[in-house]
Amino acid sequence: MFYVLSGFLVTGILIRECEGNERVGARFRAIGRFFARRLFRLQPSYLLFLALYALIVVKQQGALSWPVLLLPVSNWFRGPYITWHIKTLHVEETYYVVVSLCAFMLRRRLRTLLWWLLIAAPLGRIALFVMGKLGSTVAFWWLDRYLPVEAFAIGGLLALNLGRVRALAPVQAMIRKPTASFVLAMSALLVCAGLRDVKPFSYLLLFTWPLLFSLLSAVMIVSGLEARSFFASEWMRRVGLASYSLYLFQQFVFGPWREVYGTAFSWPLWFASLGGLILLLPLWYGFAERPLTDLGADWFPRTARKLPSTGTAVAETVLAGRASA
């Protein structure tokens, strides 16, 4: 769902920025403002994480190098457990770069490109799996690092076709009861996740689970957009901002202790780490993360242009507002 939501938001924002600027220079500046907002949003907390990583983990065997962490390309390398969740962030930032280039150069053909990616991604995953079974270690290496292309493609296509999607009869029935649709889609996603390792369901889900998870996530997004008082609120925006800090730093407390710190587990030290996390994260959010995010939105605003009427009012709020979810 994280990748589908990123595809939905980022694709919608960038296409809106580029379609609002016909001149090449204006499109280039619009994409530059997008990355500047991302820097203000993501990098302060990430730099703090890297500082803690340097103090605690970087001397351990197998630690990722600084170029890998800063570029960012950690999803192509193995590293200590504490950096596993960083791979998710780096995959998302890879999509930022790719979709920015596509929006800049192929803005009127991006919809076609996303459809092709949606078709090619499962076929590529199947081809690599078959090659691996035939003895290719390189194929399994690529399969282990295969990007969740389906998720980004479905999110992007949803952003570009939101009005058409909402006009479909099944979707109209779904959004009449958005809360029930959201809960049912999430429940189905969790059930499928549990069945991935249970035969014979594991055979059925071997290649289809990324597509299935992405479609269920799209249902959750569309139904969630209908609950306007909740999902478009300032409170939800603050939860989104604060969750990024928690996402980065929770591994220092809830990760495998010996692997992170290189020492035997200690209850007093664990409670001290937990207390530090509880006390410091709100301070970091209040005095650094949120002010810097707002500052980036003020200094590098989005193009002031109304979205096409095919979208919902909430989509306009999400895509055109200053929130940097």
Cβ-count burial 240-272 (b if 16+ within 10 Å, e if not): ebbebbebbbebbbebebeebbeeeeeeeeeee
Q: What is the pLDDT of residue 4?
A: 94
What sign for the dihedral angle of Cα 183, 185, 191, 193?
negative
Q: What is the pLDDT of residues 179-188, one digit of tens each?
A: 899 999 999 9
Instruction: Encode pLDDT of 189-202 as tens digits.
Output: 999 999 988 988 88
Phi, psi of 234 (to 5 degrees): -65, -30
d(CA 321, CA 307): 11
pLDDT of 59 reads: 57
pLDDT of 71 reads: 85
pTM for this one? 0.85
pLDDT score of 323: 40
Tokens for 153?
A: 């493609």
- Looking at residue 316, what is its pLDDT? 45
Question: Which stretches in the chain have pLDDT values below 70?
Answer: 20, 57-61, 227-233, 304-325
- Please give the pLDDT value at position 318: 45
The answer to whether 255 and 263 are in contact (CB under 8 A) is no
What pLDDT, on the 0 to 100 scale, is given for residue 132?
Answer: 93
Residue-level pLDDT at 81: 80
pLDDT of residue 58: 56
The two three-digit tokens of residue 28, written as one number? 């280039």
Q: Is the peptide bond before 67 cis (omega within 30 degrees of 0)?
A: no
Q: φ and ψ at 73, to 5 degrees?
A: -140, 30
CA angle 50, 11, 112 (to 5 degrees): 130
pLDDT score, position 305: 54
21-31 burial: b if 16+ Cβ within 10 Å, else e: beeeeebeebb
